[in-house]
A = this chain, B = another copy of it.
Amino acid sequence: MEDQLQAQWNDFAVLLAKMSGYREAIGLLHWDLRTGAPRKGAEVRAKTIGMLSGEHFKLETSPEMGRFTELFSQPEANAQLSAAQRKIVEDCRKEYERSQSISPEKYEEYAVLAAHSETMWESAKAENDFASFEPYLSKIVAFKQEFIDSWGVKGTRYDTLLDMYEPDLTVAKLDEIFGKLRSRLVPLAEKIAASPHQPDAAFLEGEFPSDRQEEFGLFLLKQMGYDFEAGRLDESVHPFATGLNPGDVRITTNYVLDNVTSSLFSCLHEGGHALYEQNISKDLVGTPLAQGASMGIHESQSRLWENMIGRSRAFWQRYYNDLQSRFPDKFANVDMEDFYRAINRVENSLIRIDADELTYNLHIIIRYEIEKLIFNEGLQVKDLPEVWNAKYKEYLGVVPPTDSLGVLQDVHWSGGDFGYFASYSLGNMYAAQFLNTLRKELPEFDSLVASGNLLPIKEWLTEAIYRYGMSETPSQIIERVTGEPLNPDYLADYLEQKYTDIYHLDDH
A interface list, Cβ under 8 A from B: 17-18, 20-21, 24-25, 28-29, 32, 36-45, 47-48, 51-52, 55, 227-232, 244-248, 250, 285-286
Asked if A48 and B32 sit within 8 Å, CB to CB, the answer is: no
20 A-B pairs (CB sep. < 8 Å): A18-B51, A20-B48, A21-B47, A21-B51, A24-B48, A25-B28, A25-B29, A25-B48, A28-B28, A37-B248, A38-B230, A38-B250, A39-B247, A41-B230, A41-B248, A42-B247, A44-B246, A44-B248, A44-B285, A45-B248
A40 to chain B, nearest CB (A): 4
A228 to chain B: which residues have CB within 8 Å?
A: 38
Whose C-beta in chain B lies nearest to the C-beta of A248?
Answer: B41
Whose C-beta in chain B lies nearest to the C-beta of A54?
Answer: B18
A40 to chain B: which residues have CB within 8 Å?
A: 227, 229-230, 247-248
Q: Which residue of the partner chain, among B21, B28, B38, B43, contacts A229 with CB atoms under 8 Å?
A: B38
**Complex CA–CA separation, A48 to B232 (angstroms):** 19
Whose C-beta in chain B lies nearest to the C-beta of A37?
Answer: B248
Asked if A44 and B286 sit within 8 Å, CB to CB, the answer is: yes
A35 to chain B, nearest CB (A): 10
Q: Which residue of the partner chain, among B18, B20, B39, B231, contacts A38 with CB atoms under 8 Å?
A: B231
A126 to chain B, nearest CB (A): 15
**Complex CA–CA separation, A473 to B278 (angstroms):** 49
Asked if A47 and B231 sit within 8 Å, CB to CB, the answer is: no
**Complex CA–CA separation, A20 to B42 (angstroms):** 15
Q: Which residue of the partner chain, among B28, B38, B51, B285, contacts A247 with CB atoms under 8 Å?
A: B38
Known A-B contacts A38-B229, A38-B247, A55-B55; A45 and B24 likewise in contact (beta carbons under 8 Å): yes
Whose C-beta in chain B lies nearest to the C-beta of A227?
Answer: B40
A32 to chain B: which residues have CB within 8 Å?
A: 28, 32
**Complex CA–CA separation, A38 to B24 (angstroms):** 14
A226 to chain B, nearest CB (A): 11
Most B CB atoms within 10 A — which of A21, A227, A229? Answer: A21
A49 to chain B, nearest CB (A): 9
A25 to chain B: which residues have CB within 8 Å?
A: 25, 28-29, 48, 52
Whose C-beta in chain B lies nearest to the C-beta of A14?
Answer: B51
A39 to chain B: which residues have CB within 8 Å?
A: 229-230, 247
**Complex CA–CA separation, A230 to B247 (angstroms):** 30
- Those 6 A-B pairs whose CB atoms lie nearest each other, nearest first: A41-B248, A40-B247, A41-B247, A40-B230, A44-B245, A21-B51
A285 to chain B: which residues have CB within 8 Å?
A: 44
Q: Which residue of the partner chain, among B18, B29, B245, B246, contacts A28 with CB atoms under 8 Å?
A: B29
A37 to chain B: which residues have CB within 8 Å?
A: 232, 248
**Complex CA–CA separation, A290 to B453 (angstroms):** 55
Known A-B contacts A24-B48, A43-B247; A38 and B286 likewise in contact (beta carbons under 8 Å): no
A227 to chain B: which residues have CB within 8 Å?
A: 40
Known A-B contacts A38-B247, A41-B248, A230-B40; A48 and B21 likewise in contact (beta carbons under 8 Å): yes
**Complex CA–CA separation, A44 to B41 (angstroms):** 27
**Complex CA–CA separation, A246 to B248 (angstroms):** 28
**Complex CA–CA separation, A55 to B227 (angstroms):** 32
